[in-house]
């Protein structure tokens, strides 16, 4: 104000004296310089002195479990709707996006699949420096926030918590992320349907996702997919345990390539060679011979197939079961079929939120099934294919295109994505498969299909050692290599049947995804060995 008065006085003097223009200009320039220096001095003083929000924000020191901080009540983001109007809460999450403008800063806080909007505005509690700090936090940093949940008048469309926002009072960075991210979670989460051509169409391709799997797994769809996968395993275990099954754990390092002979990984085993098991088949059968009656196992399965397709991995998780029966292998067939139906019902009823979450990014058709499951004879399937114009022999195996076509025909007729094909021809099944006594061309074996793709291959096994040797010779298998396997039946073994399921494939086909790598957390194929 004093300066203003001086200016006025100067003006009057000049006008009174009638000084020249040059003199005016010179004096104005001096005045401007004076003002600038004065302003700079004021600002410097203000910055250092006036930050009234110091202590409410900053980069927190590394957490080394120094103290417990039990006074802080942390609330999950998904439960914030119950906290509106109840005072201050603490929330820990990641910075999904941030947008700072003027005296305000908006953050989207993400916790797994839930997101909520946070707002910082310059006021009594929050200073300008604090707002600036919040705006500069890198994406994907982990922050602790003390805030007050407040209701909002209009819905926040871009968040999962749409009815509220967090009015921030304190903000600390617990773990700071690098400023440059190899892929943006927003881009990786974008829906694949190209409905709006005007919108952003930045895509993240599969290889980039897998190379940076730690970031890719943070998308809501991936969080949901792998929770569904855990649900499949849990339901599988619970359903079988209720039916009297016992979980066993089989070795994966074996001494000889027992089944196929090909497609086996070799491992250096001290002075000898060992192999990685293609399936736990032999150990399941030994457990049956050892009077465990009903067994299942969940574990890794290795296939050294040089197949780079959308549905092949070199290592995947196998859900295997084996069961002794009384007189007919359909006792086992119905048990497995009903297990699948129960798994599908469990997923439908308990994991609806996850299925919906995947549906936001990928197109998910509802999975349809019948109860009890549909059982078709192999001959009926072949008849359906011939009716559709496909030429295939009676004892010929189904090719992949024919499998898919048969799946479409079954879907069109019975409206089910899950069905069982029974009585496969004996010539196309492994040596330990029991032939059909009524028709020696066929065998007591079955496959199960989801959306036209095979997920389970099973059969009644030969439990008589002499007959097993005969069948092995008929298949040209060296019986000395499987002597231990044959020997396990010489001390008495009940009739039994079973099958093996690929877990990743079940989840892929249940959701209708197009690539099995989407349902494998860290896929392995002939080209990928990292991460």
Partner 1 sequence: MYELKTLLPQFDIKLPTCMYPLKNVSLAADSLASGSSTSASTSASTSSCKLEANRIDRTGRNAATCALDLDSLGRQIQRLLKDDTASVAARQEKVLKQLEELKAQLGQIRAGLGVCGKTFQHTTAFQNGGLKEVPLQDVVINGHPNFIPYALLALKNAWRNLYTIDVKTFTHSTMADIGPAAREFEANLAKVPVNPALPKISVTLIWKNCEHTEMISSPTMYVPIYGEVNIIRYLGRVGPAEYRYEGSPLCNEIDLVLDICYQLLRCNTHKTQVAMVRLLDKRLQKQQYFGGSQMSVADVGVYSSLIRMPAVTEKDLTPALVAWRKRAKLVVQI
Q: Please give the positions annotated as active site.
A: 303, 305, 311-312, 454, 457, 505
Smallest separation (angstroms) from partner 1 to the CB of 391? 7
Task: For residue 368, state whether it binds partner 1 (rule: CB under 8 A).
Answer: yes
Alpha helices (runs of H) in 244-329, residue ranges in sequence order:
281-289
From residue 391, alpha-carbon distances to 2, 382, 383, 408 in Å are 102, 9, 10, 17
Can you tell me the distance from the alpha carbon of 330 to that of 184, in angstroms, rounded to the nearest whole number? 51
Task: For residue 374, state whether it binds partner 1 (rule: CB under 8 A).
Answer: yes
Alpha helices (runs of H) in 206-329, residue ranges in sequence order:
206-211, 213-216, 220-242, 281-289
Task: For residue 371, state whether it binds partner 1 (rule: CB under 8 A).
Answer: yes
Smallest separation (angstroms) from partner 1 to the CB of 52? 60
Query: Whose Cβ is closer to partner 1: residue 385's or residue 398's?
Result: 385
User: Given candidates 190, 312, 334, 348, which one binds partner 1 under the rule CB under 8 A?
Assistant: 348
Q: Which of 451, 215, 424, 422 is nearest to 332 (CA)?
A: 422
Residues 6+ apart with CB under 8 A from 208: 182, 183
Smallest separation (angstroms) from partner 1 to the CB of 398? 17
Can you tell me the distance from the alpha carbon of 402 to that of 421, in angstroms, rounded to the nearest whole number? 13
Per-residue mark of binding to partner 1, 286-325 (x: CB under 8 A):
----------------------------------------
Smallest separation (angstroms) from partner 1 to the CB of 423? 15
Task: For residue 396, state whether it binds partner 1 (rule: CB under 8 A).
Answer: no
User: Given candidates 74, 269, 414, 522, which one binds partner 1 under the rule CB under 8 A?
Assistant: 414
Query: Whose Cβ is closer to partner 1: residue 249's or residue 413's?
Result: 413
Region binding partner 1 by CB under 8 A among candidate stretches 230-238, 248-256, 354-362, 367-375: 367-375
Residue 512 neighbours by CB distance under 10 Å: 17
Please write down the HEC assignment for all residues of 51-113.
Answer: CCCCCCEEECCCCCCCCCCCCCCECCHHHHHHHCCCCCEEEEEEEEEEEEECCEEEEEEEECC
**Which residue is associated with the tokens 């022999």?**
393
Query: Whose Cβ is closer to partner 1: residue 69's or residue 408's?
Result: 408
Residue 187 neighbours by CB distance under 10 Å: 15
Smallest separation (angstroms) from partner 1 to the CB of 439? 17
Task: For residue 391, state whether it binds partner 1 (rule: CB under 8 A).
Answer: yes
Which residues share a beta bridge with 274? 267
Smallest separation (angstroms) from partner 1 to the CB of 368? 5
User: Given candidates 86, 345, 474, 475, which one binds partner 1 under the rule CB under 8 A?
Assistant: 345
Q: Which of 54, 59, 44, 43 is nearest to 130 (CA)?
A: 54
For residue 509 the two structure tokens come to 């086909």
Smallest separation (angstroms) from partner 1 to the CB of 415? 7
Region binding partner 1 by CB under 8 A among candidate stretches 81-89, 195-203, 378-386, 456-464: 378-386
Task: For residue 372, state whether it binds partner 1 (rule: CB under 8 A).
Answer: yes
Task: For residue 438, state whether it binds partner 1 (rule: CB under 8 A).
Answer: no
Query: Whose Cβ is closer to partner 1: residue 45's or residue 372's?
Result: 372
Smallest separation (angstroms) from partner 1 to the CB of 365? 12
Task: For residue 363, state whether it binds partner 1 (rule: CB under 8 A).
Answer: no
Helix (H) or strand (E) holding 419: strand 418-422
Task: For residue 236, state whether it binds partner 1 (rule: CB under 8 A).
Answer: no
352 half-sphere exposure, CB direction, 13 A CA radius: 4
Task: For residue 522, state whether it binds partner 1 (rule: CB under 8 A).
Answer: no
Query: Whose Cβ is closer to partner 1: residue 375's or residue 462's?
Result: 375
Is residue 410 within 8 A of residue 416, CB to CB? The reply is: yes
Q: What is the DSSP letter of 194?
A: -
Q: Which of 503, 41, 480 is nearest to 228 (CA)?
A: 503
Question: What is the residue-wise DSSP string for 138-167?
Answer: PTT-EEEEEEEEEE-SS--TTSS--SEEEE
Task: For residue 394, state whether it binds partner 1 (rule: CB under 8 A).
Answer: no
From residue 411, alpha-carbon distances to 342, 367, 375 in Å are 20, 11, 13
Query: Whose Cβ is closer to partner 1: residue 177's or residue 384's?
Result: 384
User: Given candidates 316, 367, 442, 446, which one binds partner 1 under the rule CB under 8 A?
Assistant: 367
Task: For residue 369, state whether it binds partner 1 (rule: CB under 8 A).
Answer: yes
Query: Whose Cβ is closer to partner 1: residue 36's or residue 352's?
Result: 352
Region binding partner 1 by CB under 8 A among candidate stretches 159-167, 185-193, 332-340, 368-376: 368-376
Task: For residue 350, state whether it binds partner 1 (rule: CB under 8 A).
Answer: no
User: Given candidates 416, 444, 488, 519, which one binds partner 1 under the rule CB under 8 A?
Assistant: 416
User: Given candidates 63, 383, 483, 484, which one binds partner 1 under the rule CB under 8 A?
Assistant: 383
Can you tell me the distance from the alpha carbon of 452 to that of 405, in angstroms, rounded to the nearest whole number? 7
Can you tell me the distance from the alpha carbon of 448 to that of 200, in angstroms, rounded to the nearest whole number? 41
User: Given candidates 26, 41, 300, 388, which one binds partner 1 under the rule CB under 8 A?
Assistant: 388
Query: Whose Cβ is closer to partner 1: residue 233's or residue 384's?
Result: 384
Q: Which of 481, 444, 463 is nearest to 290 (CA)?
A: 463
By the criterion CB under 8 A, which residues form the site for partner 1?
344-345, 348, 366-372, 374, 380, 383-384, 386-389, 391, 409, 412-416
């Amino acid at each position: 104000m004093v300066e203003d008065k001086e200016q006025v006085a100067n003006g009057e003097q000049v006008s009174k004296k009638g000084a020249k223009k040059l003199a005016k200009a010179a004096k104005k320039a001096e005045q401007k310089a004076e003002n600038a220096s004065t302003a700079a001095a004021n600002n410097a003083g203000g910055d250092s002195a006036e930050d009234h929000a110091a202590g409410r924000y900053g980069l927190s020191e590394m957490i080394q479990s120094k103290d417990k901080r039990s006074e802080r009540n942390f609330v999950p983001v998904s439960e914030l709707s119950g906290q509106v109007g109840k005072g201050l809460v603490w929330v820990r999450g990641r910075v999904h996006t941030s947008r700072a403008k003027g005296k305000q800063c908006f953050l989207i806080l993400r916790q797994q699949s839930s997101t909520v909007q946070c707002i910082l505005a310059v006021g009594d509690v929050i200073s300008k420096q604090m707002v600036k700090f919040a705006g500069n936090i890198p994406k994907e940093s982990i922050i602790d926030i003390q805030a007050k949940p407040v209701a909002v008048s209009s819905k926040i469309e871009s968040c999962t918590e749409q009815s509220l926002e967090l009015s921030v009072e304190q903000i600390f960075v617990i773990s700071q992320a690098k400023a440059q991210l190899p892929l943006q979670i927003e881009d990786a989460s974008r829906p694949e349907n190209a409905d709006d051509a005007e919108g952003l169409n930045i895509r993240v391709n599969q290889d980039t996702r897998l190379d940076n799997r730690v970031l890719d797994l943070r998308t809501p769809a991936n969080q949901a997919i792998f929770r569904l996968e855990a649900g499949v395993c849990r339901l599988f275990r619970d359903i079988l345990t209720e039916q009297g099954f016992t979980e066993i754990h089989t070795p994966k390092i074996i001494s000889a390539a027992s089944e196929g002979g090909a497609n086996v990984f070799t491992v250096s085993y001290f002075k000898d060679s060992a192999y990685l098991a293609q399936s736990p088949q032999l150990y399941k059968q030994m457990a049956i011979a050892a009077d465990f009656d009903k067994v299942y196992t969940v574990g890794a399965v290795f296939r050294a197939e040089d197949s780079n397709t959308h549905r092949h991995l070199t290592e995947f998780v196998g859900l295997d079961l084996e069961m002794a029966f009384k007189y007919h292998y359909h006792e086992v067939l119905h048990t497995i079929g009903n297990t699948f139906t129960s798994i599908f019902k469990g997923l439908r009823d308990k994991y609806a939120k996850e299925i919906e979450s995947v549906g936001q990014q990928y197109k998910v058709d509802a999975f349809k099934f019948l109860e009890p499951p549909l059982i078709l004879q192999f001959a009926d399937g072949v008849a359906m294919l011939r009716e559709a114009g496909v030429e295939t022999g009676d004892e010929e195996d189904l090719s992949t295109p024919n499998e898919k076509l048969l799946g479409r025909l079954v879907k069109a007729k019975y409206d089910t994505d899950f069905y069982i094909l029974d009585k496969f021809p004996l010539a196309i099944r492994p040596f330990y498969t029991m032939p059909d006594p009524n028709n020696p061309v066929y065998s007591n074996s079955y496959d199960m299909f989801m959306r036209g793709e095979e997920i389970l291959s099973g059969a009644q096994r030969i439990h008589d050692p002499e007959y097993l040797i005969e069948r092995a010779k008929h298949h040209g298998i060296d019986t000395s290599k499987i002597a231990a396997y044959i020997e396990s039946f010489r001390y008495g073994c009940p009739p039994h049947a079973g099958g093996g399921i690929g877990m990743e494939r079940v989840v892929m086909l249940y959701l209708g995804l197009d690539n099995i790598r989407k349902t494998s957390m860290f896929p392995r194929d002939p080209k990928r060995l990292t991460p």
